[in-house]
Amino acid sequence: MKYPENIRELIRLPVDMMGLIFYEKSARYAGHLPANELRTVPPDIQKVGVFVNASQEDIFAKIRDYGLQIVQLHGDEPPGFCREIKKSGIKTIKAFRIEMGGDFRECSSYENTCDYFLFDTKTPQYGGSGKKFDWGILLSYKSETPFILSGGIGVEDAESIRETIQTPKLFGVDLNSRFETGPGEKDMEKLKEFCLSLNYDRRVNHNP
């Protein structure tokens, strides 16, 4: 998210987290958004700052300025870096680019350094591709850390997510490019449809 009016529309929906990308090379870069535009975001929607190989100083400055509750690390941050962010009391997500089941091996060194992992489709560049990976490989995921599913998810995937990804480790779903009218601007009707398809209400504590 990076547009104030779009954010005001989003907070009427049953979502748990709202992402703000602080990677300057991204078309969704939110660093120009005035922090006071987030004052209407209710406390039950957690603000997630997404960073790519940023310094700790920059991350903590954005946490302070934007009132972030969660940090998502989408670069090549080592386990110790993630641990230091988590030790500060900020919930931490580490993103991994996934292509095959063996890619989960990298996660082992990040156990207990993050609150959640995020699995996105493997690409040469940082950030999403708008494409799915084979969700069947999630059956080989053995880590204790809950994960967030990302990568090319669209409205039509709600039923498949609900019925085929039968694991208690699925914590949430990242909705991005296929719910946009442009970079950083969400299509509210598509988001509403997806939430209704999942029969999802954030006031009920359950997985999709």
How far is residue 191's CA from residue 178's CA, in Å, rounded to a whole number?
10
The residue ranking higher by pLDDT, 198 or 113, is 113
CATH topology assigned to domain 4-197: TIM Barrel (3.20.20)
The chain-wide mean pLDDT, for the chain, equals: 89
pLDDT computed for residue 208 by the predictor: 36
CB atoms within 10 A of CB 67: 15
pLDDT computed for residue 119 by the predictor: 94
pLDDT, tens only, 61-96: 999 999 999 999 999 999 999 999 999 999 999 999
pLDDT, tens only, 129-172: 567 888 888 888 888 999 999 998 999 998 888 877 878 899 99
pLDDT computed for residue 114 by the predictor: 96
Concatenate the DSSP letters of all residues of the chain into one string.
---HHHHHHHTTS--SEEEEE--TTSTTB-TTS-GGGGTTS-TTSEEEEEESS--HHHHHHHHHHHT-SEEEE-S---HHHHHHHHHTT-EEEEEEEESSGGGGGGGGGGTTT-SEEEEEE--SSSS--S----GGGGGG---SS-EEE-SS--GGGHHHHHHH---TTEEEE---GGGEEETTEE-HHHHHHHHHHTT--TTS----
Concatenate the DSSP letters of all residues of 135-174 into one string.
GGGGGG---SS-EEE-SS--GGGHHHHHHH---TTEEEE-
Q: Answer whether residue 29 shows pLDDT above 90.
A: yes
pLDDT computed for residue 129 by the predictor: 59
CB atoms within 10 A of CB 116: 18
Domain range list for the chain = 4-197
Q: Answer whether residue 205 shows pLDDT above 50.
A: no
The residue ranking higher by pLDDT, 58 or 151, is 58
Q: Which of 118, 103, 105, 94 is nearest to 173 (CA)?
A: 118
Q: Looking at the DSSP assignment, which residues form a beta bridge with residue 185?
A: 182
pTM for this prediction: 0.90
Q: Which of 182, 200, 107 is nearest to 146 (CA)?
A: 107
Band of residue 48 on the pLDDT scale cut at 50, 70, 90: very high
